[in-house]
Structure 1
Amino acid sequence: MAEIEREAMEYDVVIVGAGPAGLSAAIRLKQLDEDLNVVVLEKGSEVGAHILSGAVLDPCGLDALIPDWKEKGAPVSVPVKEDNFYMLGEAGQIRIPNFPMPPLMNNHGNYIVSMGNVCRWMAEQAEELGVEIFPGMACSELVYGDNGEVKGVVAGVFGLEQDGTYGPDTEPGMELHGKYVFLSEGVRGSLAKEVIAKYDLQAGKEPQKFGVGMKEIWEVDPAKHKEGTVTHTMGWPLGSNAGGGSFIYHLDNNQVYVGFVVHLNYKNPHLFPYMEFQRFKHHPVVADLLKGGKRVAYGARAITEGGYQSMPKMVAPGVALLGCSVGMVNVPRIKGNHNAMLSGKAAAEAAYDAIKADRSGDELSDYEVEVRTGPIGQDLKKVRNVKPIWSKWGLTASLMLGGLDMWTNTFGFSLFGTVSHGKNDADSTGKAADYQPIDYPKPDGKLSFDRLTNVSFAATNHEESQPCHLRLADPNLPINVNLPQFDEPAQRYCPAGVYEVVEKDGKPEFVVNFQNCVHCKTCDIKDPSQNITWVTPQGGDGPNYPNM
């Protein structure tokens, strides 16, 4: 690539990703100094197009960043009125009372929102302050300086040949240089993954853990709609096969978010997370709500679940990792957007101080200290043991011991210290011969749907002539290793039907339908051979989520 000549543009801070973390950083930088040159690069076709979140928003991040957000018209207007927790069995449910739960689990004062719409509004606030925002600009490479520091990114490469080479119609993109580069790509971002590996930022930390979250928006019968109601469930249909659970959030306009999360450390390679979600909707408590309604959108995204002990070092020369690039989700609360916003604010303040002191290209160590010791660290440290206790000893232990641990952490100590996570999610996958296949009922087309039908409701699209952005280190490995050993779980763990094993000339063949990809990154995480690397396709491609 050294022979490719590109124009370069200079900024004070270059931000990759127009999610809550990146936009918060941009806004805070311009609040501190209106003369700073700040650019935000977003791979989606518009801000919010790739945002998929529950979401019940704790407004503490917005309060810190834009205290008058209500007056400014933020799309945050559906307060939580009712909080329900259920343990599901196949035909019934048990309500878990709210009173034994630690105070941090209370949703009073929180809001049901579309984070896509919140980010669109935040982008307007940023642009009013003078931030340059470029959607449809995928950042495909990092640019390094003479001393090994990150000094910028390559963005806007279009028209590569199918083999990844530059052809006569290729637009080579441009380099955007910054005194500091912020990576706020969300979960398992390709540039953040490169930075973590290059600078060994995970050294001394627990492996990061993940879940896959799938979500549908439903318009339901107005008689069944209860605006402001939040419901979480655990148990059926997953049982002992995997950790996870559901969320059902009643927002406005008779719409309901129906979501399902499966922890990706499951062992049985026959497990089919998407079909577990579809089966869940046939539980009487869910089916009764959805009958007579219609599904209007679908999407999926990986979720960081490692928490406090899995956060990598967040800074390296010239670069800082923000939000879910680090992993700031509070797992029992199923919330991370508030921490993403606070991380953007903290990174901006550290960069502002550094630039004011004539520094550039070094480590923003003040940012790291603030995240680990400030509100974000305090939020995550209290719940750090819930996920590993669940993974090691099961759901019941997690409810009892994890709940006890959260209570004691409210008073500043833990009975368990810090519990380790153990293996990463890929290494957690067991051999197919050791587990029973799971028989899933066929979708009925009313409450449950096949993957390809549902993916059409994600409005995802990729230019077919571009290189496949799902790169196989060894193209033969899926058939030669993963199929005999693990029954090639890519056929099932992908919530968009990207991967298939088909028969050709009497032999199995591995097919990658990259056009279906919704950028969830599950394959990059869960593949047992770690053979798949997700890289960014050309800008503007991927899902186009309307109200997620």
Structure 2
Amino acid sequence: MTETTRESMEYDVVIVGAGPAGLSAAIRLKQLDPDTQVVVLEKGSEVGAHILSGAVLDPCGLDALIPDWKEKGAPVTVPVKEDNFYVLGEQGKLRVPNFAMPPLMNNHGNYIVSMGNVCRWMAEQAEALGVEIFPGMSCSELVFAEDGTLKGVVAGEFGRNADGTPGPSYEPGMELHGKYVMLAEGVRGSLSKEAIARYDLDAASDVQKYGLGMKEIWEVDPEKHSEGRVVHTMGWPLGKNAGGGSFIYHLDNNQVYVGFVVHLGYENPHVFPYMEFQRFKHHPYVAELLKGAKRVAYGARAITEGGWQSLPKLAFPGGALLGCAAGMVNVPRIKGNHNAMLSGKAAAEAAHAAIKEGRSGDTLESYDAAVREGPIAADLKPVRNVKPLWSKYGLSASMALGGFDMWAGSLTKWNPLGTLRHGKTDAEATGLAKDFAPIDYPKPDGKLSFDRLTNVSFSMTNHEESQPSHLRLKDPAVPVEVNLPRYAGPSARYCPAGVYEFVTEEGKEPRFVINFQNCVHCKTCDIKDPSQNIVWTVPQGGDGPNYPNM
């Protein structure tokens, strides 16, 4: 096989991913020195196209980065006015009083936003400072120096045939080299995953844990809309099958974000996260809100939930992990964007200081220290035991013991439970199908609930079909020979986009089919596959979902 020859470009800092972490790093680098050469590479067709978040934004990250964001017209205009927490039963609900929850759970001063639109605005701020931003540029490989230092990435490779060979319009892409390379790909990024393994960055941390977040945007009856209302629920329909809960956020223009999160550490392989979400909308409280409403968008994304104890080492020779590439979500608060911004700012300051001293390609130890000793640590450490308690003992224990531990951590900076461990990975947590009863899910009604393929059409997802599948199998035999008999083929259920299916034809063995065109880039398959046989990689640039205002 002929080795591909590529041209290269040199920058001071190369940033992979135009999310809140990557854009914050780019902006801060230019604030510190306008002459710093910074490039941001984004796999989405435009900035924001692949951004999906709840989102209630804690503005502390934006305050630190761009203090005059209001004057500059940031799309952060819907303050939280009402904050409700409910535990649901099948027909009713029980409100958890706000006074019973630690102050850190208070959403006063936060805003309901579209993070896609916030990132679009941040990109405008970055470009005004001289940052080069290239959307539609998937980064498919890391580039290393002879001494093993990370020196760059390969971006913009297009035109391979389905079998992987170069097609007639093949473009090899370019190598973009930097004194430092910042990986801000978001959850379970393919390059971040490679860097963590290569440099053994998770050697001293606990396993990472994840959730699957699914979200729809609805236009509701103006009489039922209450701009600024925030609702979170736990309990039904998940029960003991899985951890998780919902969010309902009333933004402006009579729109409501309706979302559902399922923790991926569930044991029963018959759990169907997408159908749990659809069933949730039939709860009387939710159904009444959505009666006569119109669903206008859908998407899904994995969420890093391991928290403080699962943070890997954040800096390595020539590179750094930013935001959710490392995992900085505060699980009980359901927030991570502020920490992503703060991490980007801290990484930029470390890189700026190093470049100013004439350094390059070394390990930015000061960045790792800034995260572990600064505001991100102050946010994550008090809540570090909620997730492991929830995973091991269920909802009631996490609310009681986790609440007590959070209260103590918030008030005294000391957690009575110490630091609990997560135990198994989400893939390892999957049990055998024979040990669990199948779950009968109601058929979608087409009004409140929808089948997956119909909903995927509302994500505006598109992939060039002639390219190789970006969903790779380590062993093509495993899905049918191992996952189907042992785990009842869970990929057909855990994927929120209907990518995977087992096709059975009369008189023939089942076939495993990958419909990669449907993929919304959530990464759940890479995380939850019990055999860890599916590897998520990037498709060619610009492909995937095209979220308008998620």
Do these two structures clear the TM 0.5 threshold for a shared fold by scoring above it? Answer: yes
Answering whether residue 437 of structure 2 is matched by residue 436 of structure 1, we say yes
Residue of structure 1 aligned with 2:543, choices 537, 541, 545: 541
Residue type of the alignment partner of 1:142:
L
| Residues in 1 aligned to 2:394 and 2:477: alpha-carbon distance in whole angstroms | 36
| Residues in 1 aligned to 2:25 and 2:502: alpha-carbon distance in whole angstroms | 43
Answering whether residue 221 of structure 2 is matched by residue 221 of structure 1, we say yes
| Paired position in structure 1 for 2:373 | 373
Indicate the SS of the match to 2:9.
strand
Indicate the SS of the match to 2:338.
helix
1:13-28 to 2 correspondence within 5 Å? 13-28=13-28
| Paired position in structure 1 for 2:102 | 102
1:72-471 to 2 correspondence within 5 Å? 72-410=72-410, 411-471=412-472
Residue type of the alignment partner of 1:534:
W
Residue 378 of structure 1 deviates from its aligned partner by: 1.1
1:41-52 to 2 correspondence within 5 Å? 41-52=41-52
Residue 321 of structure 1 deviates from its aligned partner by: 0.3
Answering whether residue 488 of structure 2 is matched by residue 499 of structure 1, we say no
Indicate the SS of the match to 1:170.
strand
Residue 506 of structure 1 deviates from its aligned partner by: 2.5
| Residues in 2 aligned to 1:267 and 1:342: alpha-carbon distance in whole angstroms | 35
Residue 334 of structure 1 deviates from its aligned partner by: 0.1
Indicate the SS of the match to 1:177.
strand
| Residues in 2 aligned to 1:313 and 1:488: alpha-carbon distance in whole angstroms | 34
| Paired position in structure 2 for 1:526 | 528
| Residues in 2 aligned to 1:208 and 1:48: alpha-carbon distance in whole angstroms | 26
Indicate the SS of the match to 1:420.
coil
> What's the CA shift string for 1:186-221, capped at 9, x where partnerless?
000000000000011110210000000000000000
Residue type of the alignment partner of 2:92:
G
> What's the CA shift string for 1:161-187, capped at 9, x where partnerless?
211222342100000000000000000
| Residues in 2 aligned to 1:83 and 1:71: alpha-carbon distance in whole angstroms | 27
- State the identity as a percent: 78
Aligned-residue CA RMSD (Å): 0.7
Indicate the SS of the match to 1:147.
coil
Residue 437 of structure 1 deviates from its aligned partner by: 0.1
Residue 544 of structure 1 deviates from its aligned partner by: 0.2
| Residues in 1 aligned to 2:143 and 2:414: alpha-carbon distance in whole angstroms | 44
Residue 2 of structure 1 deviates from its aligned partner by: 7.1
| Residues in 2 aligned to 1:307 and 1:271: alpha-carbon distance in whole angstroms | 24
| Residues in 2 aligned to 1:333 and 1:414: alpha-carbon distance in whole angstroms | 17
Indicate the SS of the match to 1:218.
strand
Indicate the SS of the match to 2:510.
strand
| Mean CA deviation greater in 245-254 or 499-508 | 499-508
Residue type of the alignment partner of 2:473:
L
| Paired position in structure 2 for 1:33 | 33
Residue 4 of structure 1 deviates from its aligned partner by: 1.1
| Residues in 2 aligned to 1:169 and 1:136: alpha-carbon distance in whole angstroms | 17
| Residues in 1 aligned to 2:438 and 2:447: alpha-carbon distance in whole angstroms | 26
> What's the CA shift string for 1:265-287, capped at 9, x where partnerless?
00000000000000000000000
| Residues in 1 aligned to 2:333 and 2:2: alpha-carbon distance in whole angstroms | 47
Residue type of the alignment partner of 2:91:
A
Residue 100 of structure 1 deviates from its aligned partner by: 1.1
| Residues in 2 aligned to 1:268 and 1:434: alpha-carbon distance in whole angstroms | 8
| Paired position in structure 2 for 1:481 | 482
Answering whether residue 519 of structure 2 is matched by residue 517 of structure 1, we say yes
Unaligned runs of 5+ in 2: none
Indicate the SS of the match to 2:496.
coil
> What's the CA shift string for 1:487-531, capped at 9, x where partnerless?
010000000000000113522110000000000000000000000
| Residues in 2 aligned to 1:426 and 1:315: alpha-carbon distance in whole angstroms | 26
| Residues in 2 aligned to 1:479 and 1:26: alpha-carbon distance in whole angstroms | 45
| Residues in 2 aligned to 1:414 and 1:455: alpha-carbon distance in whole angstroms | 42
TM-score using structure 2 length: 0.99
Unaligned runs of 5+ in 1: none
> What's the CA shift string for 1:10-35, capped at 9, x where partnerless?
00000000000000000000000000
| Residues in 1 aligned to 2:196 and 2:415: alpha-carbon distance in whole angstroms | 30
TM-score using structure 1 length: 0.99
The 1:220/1:29 distance shift into structure 2, 3 A limit, reads same
Residue 3 of structure 1 deviates from its aligned partner by: 2.0
> What's the CA shift string for 1:278-297, capped at 9, x where partnerless?
00000000000001100000
| Residues in 1 aligned to 2:155 and 2:170: alpha-carbon distance in whole angstroms | 13
> What's the CA shift string for 1:77-107, capped at 9, x where partnerless?
0000000000000000001100011000000
| Residues in 1 aligned to 2:475 and 2:3: alpha-carbon distance in whole angstroms | 27
| Residues in 2 aligned to 1:62 and 1:248: alpha-carbon distance in whole angstroms | 23
| Paired position in structure 2 for 1:11 | 11
The 4+ residue runs of structure 1 with deviation greater than 6 A are none
Indicate the SS of the match to 1:9.
strand
| Residues in 2 aligned to 1:100 and 1:224: alpha-carbon distance in whole angstroms | 27
Number of residue pairs aligned between Structure 1 and Structure 2: 548
| Paired position in structure 1 for 2:510 | 508
| Residues in 1 aligned to 2:390 and 2:318: alpha-carbon distance in whole angstroms | 37
Indicate the SS of the match to 1:223.
helix
Residue type of the alignment partner of 1:515:
Q
| Residues in 2 aligned to 1:489 and 1:73: alpha-carbon distance in whole angstroms | 45
Residue 439 of structure 1 deviates from its aligned partner by: 0.1
| Residues in 1 aligned to 2:338 and 2:416: alpha-carbon distance in whole angstroms | 27
Indicate the SS of the match to 1:248.
strand
